[in-house]
Structure 1
Amino acid sequence: MRISRIVLAAALGGALAGPALAEEARKTVAITAIVEHPALDATRDGIIAALKEAGFTQGETLTVDYQSAQGNPATAAQIARKFIGERPDVIVPISTPSAQAVVAATRDVPVVFTVVTDPVGAQLVRSMEAPGGNVTGLSDMAPVGEHVDLIAEILPRAKRLGVIYNPGEPNSVTMIGAFKEAAARKGLAVVEATATKSADVQAAGRSLAGKADAVYVPLDNTVVSALEALIRVGAQADLPIFSADTDSVERGTAASLGFDYFELGKQTGAVVARVLKGEKPGDIPVSLASGTNLVVNPKAAEAMGFAIPESVLGRATKVVGK
């Protein structure tokens, strides 16, 4: 079973430092993600950037070990067990499946999760305010109601919204529930399609052609990892595709209102630094990601057979795909 692994430390750091720092001064942070895609990768990079700002420099005072489970929950559990055995100072799981694997494997190694939609529902912590134990982290619960409002503004004639998700991802199930409630308040019907693996995403998209007026992609790692296949379906079927995460807009969805995942990574890295400096994770409340950006892709919209209104373009934080 293949594991993608990168040891993110300067190879010559110790050699160039001469006597260098005492071994006990160096900290080790183990980072793992369920899969590699731009939002999760940006989160990882933000974590490392924030740690550097906090004084933890790779090759000098910090070693970072990163491993991806390549979309396989069994591999995520394998990585979790391996990291626990290596006893790093902090483990940072990115995504709900990776966080569940790590938290299930240890009660004493400090854990700071991130990109987790519903930490309480995923049984990672007892409460957001008082997580307790060895765990804390960041939630990226998206502004789902605002997503529905945005789709309705861009496509005022839309009556049926399609959603594609992996029912095995608890974060997606939570988001779909919230999406249905928000859609119902706007008088919109929701048509579901499921994909339990990346290879299923294209077929799930095709199943919605003719049944939905637009498709919404939640924060679902399975779907986002195969986004390009879904974008092709949108272009072929004149089916507008919208996403919960803004990084997907640059890859070809029409628009999103959401977080900058590099900044979310920096928020996470700041919490990791607090733990490295001695605070107990369970004493640090779970935080909600801050900041929202409106990102639009007029070229992608045109390829899918519609135009983004000037009212939306005028207030966009970022316009891509020109």
Structure 2
Amino acid sequence: MSRPMSLLSLLCLILPLAAGAQEAKSVAITQIVEHPSLDACRQGVEDGLAEAGWKVGENLDWSYESAQSNPVTAVQVARKFVGQAPDVIVAISTPSAQAVAAATHDIPLVFSAVTDPLEAKLVANLEHPGGNITGTTDALPLERHLDLIARISPAAKRIGVLYNPGEVNSVATVERLKALAPDRGLTIVEGAAPRTADVLAAARSLVGRVDALYVPTDNTVVAALEGVVKTGYDARLPVYTADTDSVERGALAAVGFNYYDVGRQTGAMVARILAGEAPGDIPVAAVEKTELHLNLRSAERMGVTVPEAVVAEAARVIR
């Protein structure tokens, strides 16, 4: 006849199971450059994981490195993280995601703030990514951007677009703008800035050739946005962006995403993978909610009067 299990014996069986349930996981996060939007995205990833029960310093090991806007450094960071073999690698921005995707086909990769994951060849299908990759895309509502420019600057017919021709997503964005512009009576004029050090000169090169400046979610240009804003002030040219955080830095207006929310959405994806889901089975998620941000101080310095109807629609107005 079997004897009743003692309390000590029962604890010996339960405690290892409990410890296993709290087994720490590791996440490595790589980012092409540090600027407010991408930094907010990274914080959102961490907070999204915490909300799902994965907390840095408790049951989550967290590594982070910025490539400082250097694609070669992005490749080095990717290889370093792959060598460390974390449970998941998070890549914020297209260049960082492409670097990790080239470095591993085994470690789960979750990208964030990637405008066109198909064009970037990160996945072949958004609904069924397959392989080791999934993530969140911040595909831009370009029609709304052009409509906003028309509402605030109706006389603007030539739009100068500043971008890094080495960023795949930026090139795709410019091509989409060129396709949309004719129906609105607009002409797109390109201002190429391969490096952050080139941004100010690229902006100045457009003075006298365009009626407004536009900055997409191009990490190279956004990292040096102050040069674009200064050009807008000096030349009395309105500066529009796709990045709402850039409005606080001096841009006149933006319709865009809250990148902290983008990060939280990405963090929830990472949590699902840490819980056992395969990344290739998780559809790539799009960000649907957008906000209008306005900087009326900049509008005045750029010689623009924003219609009250537009001001009334803004989620945030800097006066």
Fold-level match, TM-score > 0.5?
A: yes
C-alpha displacement at 1:290, in angstroms? 2.4
Corresponding residue for residue 216 of structure 2: 218
Q: Which amino acid aligns with 2:227?
A: A
C-alpha displacement at 1:64, in angstroms? 1.2
Residue in structure 2 matching 1:86, options 61, 76, 84: 84
C-alpha displacement at 1:183, in angstroms? 1.6
* Aligned positions of 1:261-300 closer than 5 A: 261-300=259-298
C-alpha displacement at 1:289, in angstroms? 1.3
Computed over aligned residues only, the root mean square deviation of the Cα atoms, in angstroms, reads: 1.2
Corresponding residue for residue 8 of structure 2: none
Residues in 1 aligned to 2:21 and 2:50: alpha-carbon distance in whole angstroms: 18
Whether 2:50 is the aligned partner of 1:52: answer yes
What are the Cα deviations for residues 253-293 of structure 1, in whole angstroms up to 9, with x where unaligned? 00111100000000100100000000000011111112110
Q: Which amino acid aligns with 2:123?
A: V
* Aligned positions of 1:1-322 closer than 5 A: 25-320=23-318, 322=319
Residues in 1 aligned to 2:307 and 2:180: alpha-carbon distance in whole angstroms: 22
The answer (yes or no) to whether the contact 1:264–1:290 under 8 Å persists in 2 is no
User: Tell me, what secondary structure is at the counterpart of 1:25?
Assistant: coil
Q: Which amino acid aligns with 1:156?
A: P
The answer (yes or no) to whether the contact 2:22–2:59 under 8 Å persists in 1 is no
What are the Cα deviations for residues 189-243 of structure 1, in whole angstroms up to 9, with x where unaligned? 1111100000100011101111100011011011000001111111011011000
User: Tell me, what secondary structure is at the counterpart of 1:98?
Assistant: helix
Q: How many residues were matched structurally?
A: 302
Residues in 1 aligned to 2:190 and 2:252: alpha-carbon distance in whole angstroms: 20
User: Tell me, what secondary structure is at the counterpart of 1:300?
Assistant: helix
The answer (yes or no) to whether the contact 1:21–1:61 under 8 Å persists in 2 is no
What are the Cα deviations for residues 4-57 of structure 1, in whole angstroms up to 9, with x where unaligned? xxxxxxxxxxxxxxxx95697111110011000001000000000010000001
Residues in 2 aligned to 1:148 and 1:76: alpha-carbon distance in whole angstroms: 32
The answer (yes or no) to whether the contact 1:249–1:255 under 8 Å persists in 2 is yes
Which one has a bigger Cα radius of gyration? 2
Residues in 1 aligned to 2:137 and 2:237: alpha-carbon distance in whole angstroms: 30
Residues in 2 aligned to 1:25 and 1:301: alpha-carbon distance in whole angstroms: 53
The answer (yes or no) to whether the contact 1:21–1:60 under 8 Å persists in 2 is no
Provide the identity percentage: 56
**Compared with structure 1, are the counterparts of its residues 208 and 124 closer, same or farther at alpha carbon in structure 2 (3 Å cutoff)?**
same
Residues in 2 aligned to 1:179 and 1:317: alpha-carbon distance in whole angstroms: 25
What are the Cα deviations for residues 88-142 of structure 1, in whole angstroms up to 9, with x where unaligned? 0100000000000000000100000011111011110111011110000011001
The runs of 5 or more residues in structure 1 that have no matched partner are 1-19
C-alpha displacement at 1:309, in angstroms? 1.1
Displaced runs of 4 or more, over 2 A? 20-24
Corresponding residue for residue 10 of structure 1: none
Residues in 2 aligned to 1:157 and 1:317: alpha-carbon distance in whole angstroms: 25
C-alpha displacement at 1:78, in angstroms? 0.2
